[in-house]
Chains A and B, each alone.
Chain A
Amino acid sequence: MGELRRLGPQGDVKVVWDSENEEEVALAKKQFDEAMKKDFTAYRVKKDGSKSKKITKFDPDAEKIILVPVVAGG
């Protein structure tokens, strides 16, 4: 099961998908693409948080994807 977590002020929004379920994959991809349009940055990680990698396209085989909102220098 893949997991998408979109960080936000009300807590993260979680979407899960089974890579063999087309509908779930499509829904997760839609969430991903919407976040990308809002300039979120996506990181793919293993379930334990290791091997993090920045991605720009939805990966249906990813174990976990974290979506981070826009950042700026403070």
Chain B
Amino acid sequence: MATDDSYDYWYVDGSTTANTTWTMWSSTTYSADNIGTIWTTWSRDCDTEPLPEQSLEQRIRLENRQRAMDKRIGREQKRKDKINNKAKRLLMSLISKADYKQFCDLGYIDIEGKSGKLYRIQPGSQVKVFQSKTKLDVCIDSLCILTEDRNLPLADEVIWKKLMVEANEKQLLKIANHF
């Protein structure tokens, strides 16, 4: 059953028909036929009946709710941006300027392992493996590996993969799933 709050969001025009349609909608069990009938009734009635104005109280309530939601989303986005920027600064301190520029422009960096193989690290993607830094025409392997907590900032993902390639290559190849 719809709560008052969700009803206010959904229905603001006050017409009797819309009321009835909403009650039908919110109490119906899912069925393609029911949904189709209700939608047809709703869209037909809303088309022919002029929508009365919202009361001032309703408008203020909806606007306040919208503002609160926007603030919450804004705060969450700011928090995420702060975390991501911190991760980018750490990455910038650990790779060359050229590599960082490549990361910003192309979204990946290339790191050479002790075996001579070249690993292309792109956050959110499998690690592509090439025979060497001079043989980039054929990808010889694709590694899927991730942290147990998958919510690390993208730049941090580049950092730990780079470290594994450089200092723990055998373990990387052992742990990763190969495609």
Interface residues of A (CB under 8 A from B): 5, 7-12, 41, 43, 45, 47-49, 52-54, 66, 68-74
Interface residues of B (CB under 8 A from A): 82-83, 86-87, 90, 93-95, 126, 144-149, 151-153, 156, 159-160, 162-164, 166-168, 175-177
- Tell me the smallest distance from the CB of A47 to a CB of chain B, in Å: 7
Contact of A43 among B82, B83, B163 (CB under 8 A): B163
Q: Is the CB of B86 within 8 A of A11?
A: yes
Given A7-B156, A47-B93, is A72 in contact with B87 using a C-beta cutoff of 8 Å? no
Q: Give A7 to B147 CA distance when docked, in angstroms.
A: 10
Contact of B87 among A12, A54, A74 (CB under 8 A): A12
- Tell me the smallest distance from the CB of A2 to a CB of chain B, in Å: 14
Most buried by B among A11, A54, A68, A73: A11
Given A48-B93, A71-B175, A72-B175, is A11 in contact with B83 using a C-beta cutoff of 8 Å? yes
